[in-house]
């Protein structure tokens, strides 16, 4: 089989000259190991006339610079083709690809980055200009908030993250008490909205008690300390189902802590529920029904991040994490009337998250926009989105596409010096709200 593959390879190279130029300009870091194996196998094959198949041995042979390689003398073959043990150098591969006209420096450049001014398109790199990357370790200056605890749970449930965080920090409410409020709301409204897959009650109270304990010891982890939240059910959490919204996987338990879950847990967040994703992260239909819009339950939430959008909108969680490949954050956020943020690809690590598109560029339906998996927050305000993104962003060691993206402190921006533009045909009510 190897001989047949090698034969086909050489025939393509011989009959279609553009074929080997394609190989040359591809990222040779990917090709060298495969090429080394193939050509080492070629060195061990035997025949008399290059390049033909031998009915008896299924072997082939070939020549470079009129030197015939034949496995009848394997040691000499390997000596001719490369170094000791048959390992090919980059120069050997260039010679076999009829590309030894390149200088040594040019060969080194091609092996390193494809020989192009910019890195090869075969290797996706979300960092557009590595030389201009700023420090990603800037801390935010959070606004000072003086707030009183509301008298009823309804008002409490619709406070934003910064407000709830201040209540916990000032010990005007405990994390356990706040967690109980949202657990009750998840159970109370889910039968109408069909937005929750699993209520993680035991885990939630465990994490809330730990948050209260740390605070009593004088340890404050930041604005998410003791704050309940939900995760889209494509994000894995050990000991709980990660259903992907599909009947086929409704009992699936993934024993991996997703990177985004780790980040939130280390910031003191309290997971209260796994929220609906459309089946296999497509639209708002899942094995338990179809998620509805809290503002109009005759409508559906649209988009696969249906649960995070609906639950945040209905005050069932203060914030939630969803995902998007092609509109699954923006569409349900718009339909359910919440603020959401779809980060740049690579900003948030995706380990432990169901993959749809690792890196897919261009689509006729999307007008050639980039279609890639991205994780982002659903909140009640842009300020909350900034807080959440600051916690979950960063380099995920198990996600090669993730990066330490810089994120300037949005709370240091003078809003009076910012111009806001809108289209003439925009909805004027929305425009007025934006301009305010």
Residue 275 · residue 245 · CB < 8 Å: no
The alpha-helical segments, DSSP class H, found in 217-329 are: 259-266, 306-313
- The encoded tokens of residue 352 equal 């432990």
Under DSSP, is residue 351 helix (H, G, I), strand (E, B) or coil? Answer: coil
- Angle between helix 259-266 and 382-392 (nearest 10): 110
Catalytic residue list: 232, 304, 328
Whether 215 contacts 207, CB under 8 Å: no
Residue 321 has phi, psi (to 5 degrees) of: -105, 125
- Pairing mode, if any, of strands 339-340 and 374-379? antiparallel
Residue 74 vs residues 10, 78, 88, 95, 422: alpha-carbon distances, Å: 20, 6, 15, 20, 73
Q: What share of residues in the chain are helix, strand, coil (percent, to 5)?
A: 40, 10, 45
Residue 293 sits at φ, ψ, to 5 deg, of -80, 120
Sheet with 196-199, strands from edge to edge, namely 196-199, 270-275, 228-232, 320-324, 374-379, 339-340
The two three-digit tokens of residue 428, written as one number: 């004027």
Q: Are strands 62-64 and 67-69 parallel, antiparallel or unpaired?
A: antiparallel
C-beta atoms surrounding 109 within 10 Å: 14
- What tokens appear for 212 in the block? 């209260």
Query: Looking at residue 326, what DSSP letter applies?
Result: S
Those residues with Cβ within 8 angstroms of residue 253's Cβ, 6 or more apart along the chain or in another chain: 238, 239, 240, 241, 242
Query: Could you tell me how many residues make up the chain?
Result: 436
Helix (H, G, I), strand (E, B) or coil at 202: helix
DSSP state of 399: -
CA 26 to chain centre: 25
Rounded to whole angstroms, the Cα distance separating 355 from 395 reads 18
């Amino acid at each position: 089989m190897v001989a047949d593959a090698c034969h086909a390879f050489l025939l393509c190279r011989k009959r279609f000259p553009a074929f080997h130029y394609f190989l040359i300009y591809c990222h040779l870091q990917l090709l060298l190991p495969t090429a080394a194996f193939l050509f080492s196998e070629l060195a061990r094959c035997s025949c008399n006339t290059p390049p033909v198949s031998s009915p008896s041995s299924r072997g082939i042979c070939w020549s470079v610079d009129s030197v015939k390689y034949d496995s009848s003398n394997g040691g000499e073959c390997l000596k001719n083709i490369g170094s000791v043990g048959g390992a090919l150098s980059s120069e050997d591969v260039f010679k076999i690809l009829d590309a030894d006209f390149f200088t040594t420096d040019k060969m080194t450049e091609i092996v390193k980055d494809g020989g192009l001014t910019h890195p090869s398109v075969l290797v996706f790199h979300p960092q557009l200009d590595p030389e201009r990357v700023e420090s990603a370790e800037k801390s935010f200056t959070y606004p000072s908030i003086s707030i009183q605890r509301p008298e009823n749970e309804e008002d409490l449930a619709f406070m934003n993250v910064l407000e709830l965080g201040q209540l916990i920090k000032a010990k005007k409410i405990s994390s356990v008490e706040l967690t109980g409020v949202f657990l009750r709301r998840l159970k109370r409204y889910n039968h109408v909205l069909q937005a929750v897959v699993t209520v993680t009650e035991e885990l939630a109270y465990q994490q809330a008690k730990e948050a209260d304990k740390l605070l009593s010891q004088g340890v404050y982890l930041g604005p998410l300390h003791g704050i309940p939240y939900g995760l889209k059910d494509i994000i894995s959490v050990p000991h709980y189902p990660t259903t992907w919204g599909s009947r086929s996987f409704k009992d699936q338990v993934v024993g991996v802590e997703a990177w985004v879950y780790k980040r939130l847990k280390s910031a003191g967040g309290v997971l209260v529920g796994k929220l609906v994703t459309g089946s296999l992260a497509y639209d708002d239909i899942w094995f338990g029904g179809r998620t509805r819009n809290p503002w109009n339950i005759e409508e559906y939430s649209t988009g696969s991040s249906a649960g995070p959008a609906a639950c945040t909108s209905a005050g069932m969680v203060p914030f939630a994490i969803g995902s998007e490949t092609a509109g699954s954050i923006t569409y349900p956020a718009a339909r359910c009337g919440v603020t959401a943020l779809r980060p740049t690809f690579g900003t948030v690590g995706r380990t432990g998250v169901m993959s749809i598109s690792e890196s897919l560029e261009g689509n006729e339906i999307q007008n050639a926009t980039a279609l890639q998996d991205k994780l982002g927050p659903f909140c009640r305000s842009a300020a909350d989105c900034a807080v959440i993104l600051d916690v979950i962003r960063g380099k995920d060691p198990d996600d090669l596409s993730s990066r330490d993206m810089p994120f300037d402190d949005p709370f240091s921006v003078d809003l009076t010096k910012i111009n806001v533009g809108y289209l003439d045909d925009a909805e004027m009510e929305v425009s007025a709200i934006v301009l305010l």
